[in-house]
Structure 1
Amino acid sequence: MLPLKLGGCVESTARVHLYDFIVTSKAELAEEIWRVVICSPELSRTLRAGQFINVDVPGDRSQLLRIPLSFASIDQMAGEIELVVATVGDGTRRLAAMAVGQGSTVVGPCGNGWRLPRSEESRVLLVAGGVGIVPLLAAGRELAQKGIAFEAVIGARSASQLWGEQEFMDIGASSVLVCTDDGSKGFHGFTTQALQATDLTPFSLIMSCGPAPMMAGVAACAHKAHVFCQVSLEQMMSCGFGACHTCNVAMVAGGYKFCCTDGPVFNAEEVLW
């Protein structure tokens, strides 16, 4: 595997706090995909790409657990945090239905973020499926700020649920390969199938987020090409700061790590897929 100098990961557990927020805007990006922008000035100043927040969504007192969400961008001047959610359950549907001006509370910053290359000579590939695009958009913005070239491969079940292509281009991706399961746009097939047909050796780092089978496939492709790979895992996180032990991740070396405090970003080689 090629040597790669990475910056330190962001460890935030000691700084996790409870913050208030209000919804400042929202829009539907694709079928069942919503962009929700919240304002929480103090929290916005502490977050780094790859970390997550735990949102208390109002509307149903029987739902006791917060929703862990990655963020796509931060505007520290406005104190705003951009979230993108798939309305796959009651909690996310209630979040997407929140009115502008409505508020609640959020816990953060949670977890460890991406470890980004230090050298401008690096070349990075971002691989995402569905709302796994969210933390990679945040990473892409930081890569662009560092002058590091990056490309993206994104996937969705169909064109109606696809989003992120223009967003990646807008932040400076040199190319964006679109994949759809049904072939309704771009490459007909999974992102992993597209990677298998791609020469990955020019890349110094691959970063991925999405469904677990997809990330396992990305990790296998990276391993075969001897390219370092980081993955942002999606697990149920009841607390977000290591108290409940519900987000265990099995490791190759044996035992488990917590997705919320040890992750959500892991070295793909260390995860027992």
Structure 2
Amino acid sequence: MPQPSSARLHEFRIVSNDKIADGIFSLVIEAPALAAAIKPGQFMNFEVPGNAQSLLRIPLSYARADAEAGTVEVWYAVVGEGTERLSRMRPGDTSTVLGPGGHGWSVPADCSRVLLVGGGIGVPPLVPLAEQLAHDGIAFDVCIGAKTASTCAGVSSFEALGAASVAVATDDGTQGHHGFVTDLAADALGQTSYDYVATCGPGVMMQKVAQAAGEAEVYCEASLERMMSCGFGACSTCNVETTEGMKGACMCGPVFDASKVVVW
């Protein structure tokens, strides 16, 4: 398991902040040192101005980092007051971000084919992993789950990176399979030989993906969502119960060996 990078405080300037799906935004920030340091699966803790009573930063994963341009792209869902404030920030606005935090994905050596399974806003952390796989010449398939077609994001990104297949499941059947993304993942694991599964999304979804991967005897990692209040292991608000005891998601995660997660 790779060691977590030492998170640092970075000033950033917003390049763009645009809606890309229903309730989902793409935020591009200019932060050269962060863009050069962050690795697939790591996260950042954003300070969002506008509410003096809000002391906590907002932990977000990233979808793309361009070291040459000095930019990092984040996809986020507007789910509360903090992300609603973030959605109102405009190009040129500035603030600070703490990162990169934690450790990311650990693709096994000699891996030849990978299955990526993302649900909702759990899709973004899989995009830089797909980019890494494409760079390393490793084939990958993608399963994406969303509530409805208007909230589905990421298909074109994975296709542009050369995914062997991109399958979509929506709860209401407005795009792709009418049902859960776990159905697609189980089918893929039953039909194709994989060396590694990476998943991010709702806990119940990841638990089922991990179970299917375990039954297929494929190593699986999951990126868990917790409220990482401080982002550097001091507050213990992001603990994850594992077979090896309680571990903080901000330092020991957010990516965990799925077989060792007890509480999703």
| TM-score for both structures, normalised by structure 2 | 0.96
How far 1:201 moved relative to its partner?
5.0
CA root-mean-square deviation: 1.2
Aligned partner (choices 6, 9, 15) of residue 2 of structure 2: 9
Query: Percent identical across equivalent pairs?
Result: 47
Q: Which amino acid aligns with 2:127?
A: L
How far 1:200 moved relative to its partner?
5.4
Kept in 2: contact 1:21–1:39 (CA 8 A): yes
Deviations 1:86-139 (A, max 9, x none): 0011111111210100010000110011112333x5100000001111110010
| Matches of 2:259 and 2:46, distance apart in 1 | 30
Kept in 2: contact 1:201–1:225 (CA 8 A): no
Q: Which amino acid aligns with 1:189?
A: G
Aligned partner (choices 200, 216, 230) of residue 209 of structure 1: 200
Aligned to 2:171: 181
Q: Does 1:140 align with 2:136?
A: no
Aligned to 1:55: 46
Deviations 1:155-180 (A, max 9, x none): 10000111111111011111100000
SS at match of 1:84: strand
Q: Which amino acid aligns with 2:86?
A: L
Q: Which amino acid aligns with 2:83?
A: T
Structure 2: runs of 5 or more not aligned: none
Aligned to 2:93: 102
Q: Which amino acid aligns with 1:130?
A: G
Kept in 1: contact 2:117–2:185 (CA 8 A): no
| Matches of 2:132 and 2:142, distance apart in 1 | 14
Deviations 1:187-237 (A, max 9, x none): 111111222333255011000000111000100110111111000000111
| Segments ≥4 residues shifted beyond 3 Å | none
Aligned to 1:113: 104
| Matches of 2:63 and 2:247, distance apart in 1 | 25
| Matches of 1:202 and 1:56, distance apart in 2 | 43
Aligned to 1:83: 74
Aligned to 2:32: 41
Structure 1: runs of 5 or more not aligned: 1-7
| Matches of 1:189 and 1:136, distance apart in 2 | 21
Aligned to 1:5: none
Aligned partner (choices 148, 155, 162) of residue 158 of structure 1: 148
| Matches of 2:133 and 2:85, distance apart in 1 | 33
Q: How many aligned residue pairs are there?
A: 262
Q: Within 5 A, what are the aligned runs for 1:124-273?
A: 124-198=114-188, 199=190, 202-253=193-244, 255-273=245-263
Aligned to 2:112: 122
| TM-score for both structures, normalised by structure 1 | 0.93
SS at match of 1:260: helix
